Amino acid sequence: MSNEIHADLLVIGFGKGGKTVAAAMGRRGKRVVMVEQSDQMYGGTCPNVGCVPSKALVHHSGQRRPDDPPQEWYERSIRQVQAITGFMRGANYDSLNGADTVTVLTGRATFTDPHTAEVVTGDDRVTVTAGHILINTGSEPIIPDIPGLRGNKRVVTSTDLIHATVLPRRLTIIGAGYLGIEFASIYNRFGSEVTVLEEAPEILGRLDGDVAGAALDILTGEGTDFVTSAEVTELRDGGDHATVVYGKDGARHTVDADAVLVATGRAAVTHDLGLEAAGVRTTRYGAVEVDEHLRTSRPHIFALGDVNGGPQFTYMSLDDSRIVLDQLLGDDGRSITDRVAIPATLFMTPPLATVGLTEREARAAGCRIKIAWQRVADIAAMPRAYVVEETRGVMKFVIDVETDEILGAALLSVDAQEIINVVALAMRHGVTAAELREAVYTHPSSTEALNDILGTIVRSDEPTRIAEPAAPRAGR
């Protein structure tokens, strides 16, 4: 291989957005160089250490029967998940490296000027110059500056957990965001004793109390122990375990753990990229600063996915790729300002999917609304919930009184991750609640729940008291 490559497009990071643009430009005959620093990350975070393995573990943990030995079931599940991720990693590599116009380099890229990066691949150094450059380096777990946390062999990230074949008997999770709650649900079902420490006074505090309370009831009912208003102050090494020290209500408490999962958020990976040499600015949080078309402070350099500080979802990175492709192909049509009704799903069991405004947010915005709310167990038109033996949860819709358009929804139910996409699409295109209610859906399906719940307005547009979330069952 020549030590110098001149390309039309250089992509740094093999994530969803970058690989999609790389493949599209390669098909158009453009000379593309893709750089990925790890041979374990072809395809990016999602298929390797993110969505795919974690959601596969959701599935495997739910399949364990009471008499299945937890450690044996867990180790077998991890092996099966690793096989899936390995297959997907190889397929991602082959899909790009097999193209005539695309070269994949495995190494670390550092900018030396606005159009050039030096890539260290083993003992070799390759200089790549390109007319356009995409930064797609993703994000990494944040490790808080808490005494005893860094360097402790008992402290793990989500990446560490999904590669470990030993099931921790006691797992303490610091942080009750999406990742913390998902892993709490997964490992509780595998058989771990799970304690979640959350600094905020509520779990799922952005949601309305009736939805958050229903979710928390499910989680605590399965045995997960939540402690809110808990400030972790220290981690002590106990040899065969770790002791987490935290403050709550003016008193000091401790909890012992075989593993401590830090789930306090993720930060953009921008260190060691040499962004100063490229003239690329970053935000105060370290993310690459971009405009509405994802251009950085250098117009020929773009940033896609988690590294640009936007919502950390794979599907947002995919949409980033559409915006950047438009720019590369001379079409200014799309921008991040076009995004409306973007859904999100928390993969507890059953999943909790949301889109748009909560009731609290709608009322605070001065909207005149009506509310449709039902327990899944009471939705007559949703027999699938009984077929798959998962009737827990609630569904809630916030609807504009005058237009009958949906302003938001929270679905805690089986298949919520699928139903929410239908609701989001309806919101983007102005489909009314009545039209969704009267639509024809397959049977038995979860989507047909819309026939029932949207026919039952359980609250008027007068302000109503939002139920408070159920209190965590932790006694600490």
> Is 139 known as a binding-site position?
yes
> Is 55 known as a binding-site position?
yes
Which pLDDT value is given to residue 331?
A: 83
d(CA 60, CA 76): 9
> Is 177 known as a binding-site position?
yes
Amino acid in the structure at residue 223? G
Nearest to 393, CA basis, from 202, 140, 219: 219
Mode of pairing for the β-strands spanning 108-113 and 102-106: unpaired
> Is 137 known as a binding-site position?
yes
d(CA 133, CA 130): 7
Which pLDDT value is given to residue 332?
A: 77
Which pLDDT value is given to residue 471?
A: 42
Spell out where 298-387 has E strands. Answer: 301-303, 344-346, 352-356, 369-375
Q: Which long-range contacts (CB under 8 A, 24 or more apart) does 390-395 make?
A: 390/349, 390/350, 390/414, 392/218, 392/350, 393/214, 393/218, 393/350, 393/352, 394/210, 394/211, 394/214, 395/449, 395/453
> Is 274 known as a binding-site position?
no
* The two three-digit tokens of residue 206, written as one number: 């952005």
Which pLDDT value is given to residue 54?
A: 92
> Is 180 known as a binding-site position?
yes
* The two three-digit tokens of residue 328, written as one number: 């590369």
The pLDDT profile of the chain, 476 residues, written as one tens digit per residue, is 559 999 999 999 999 999 999 999 999 999 999 999 998 889 888 888 888 999 999 999 999 998 899 999 999 999 999 999 999 999 998 989 888 999 999 999 999 999 999 999 988 999 999 999 999 999 999 999 999 999 899 999 999 999 999 999 999 999 999 999 999 999 999 999 999 999 999 999 999 999 999 999 999 999 999 999 999 999 999 889 999 999 999 999 999 999 999 999 999 999 999 999 999 999 999 999 999 999 999 999 999 999 999 988 999 999 999 999 999 998 878 999 999 999 999 999 999 999 999 999 999 999 999 999 999 999 999 999 999 999 999 999 999 999 999 999 999 999 999 999 999 999 999 999 999 999 999 999 999 999 999 988 765 555 544 444 344 433 33
Which pLDDT value is given to residue 394?
A: 97
| Phi, psi (degrees; rounded to nearest 5) at 239 | 85, -85
Number of helices followed by number of strands (H, E) in the chain? 14, 23
Structural domains in the chain, sorted by start: 4-139+267-338 (3.50.50.60), 155-264 (3.50.50.60), 344-459 (3.30.390.30)
Spell out the SS3 assignment of 346-364: ECCCCCEEEEECCHHHHHH
Which pLDDT value is given to residue 439?
A: 96
Mode of pairing for the β-strands spanning 193-197 and 170-174: parallel
Q: CA–CA distance from 370 to each of 132, 168, 376, 409, 440 (Å)?
A: 49, 46, 19, 12, 23
Q: Collapsing DSSP states into helix, strand and coil, what is residue 320?
A: helix
Which pLDDT value is given to residue 48?
A: 86
Which pLDDT value is given to residue 462?
A: 57
d(CA 76, CA 67): 15
* The two three-digit tokens of residue 295, written as one number: 């251009």
CB 468 within 8 A of CB 209: yes
- Give exposure, 286-310, as e/b (b: 16+ Cβ within 10 Å): ebbbbeebbbbbbeebbbbbbbbbb
> Is 237 known as a binding-site position?
no
Query: Which residues are known to be catalytic?
Result: 443
Q: Collapsing DSSP states into helix, strand and coil, what is residue 114?
A: coil
| Phi, psi (degrees; rounded to nearest 5) at 19 | -70, -30
Q: Collapsing DSSP states into helix, strand and coil, what is residue 157?
A: coil
Which pLDDT value is given to residue 50?
A: 85
> Is 182 known as a binding-site position?
yes
Spell out the SS3 assignment of 48-111: HHCHHHHHHHHHHHHHCCCCCCHHHHHHHHHHHHHHHHHHHHHHHHHHHHCCCCEEEEECEEEE
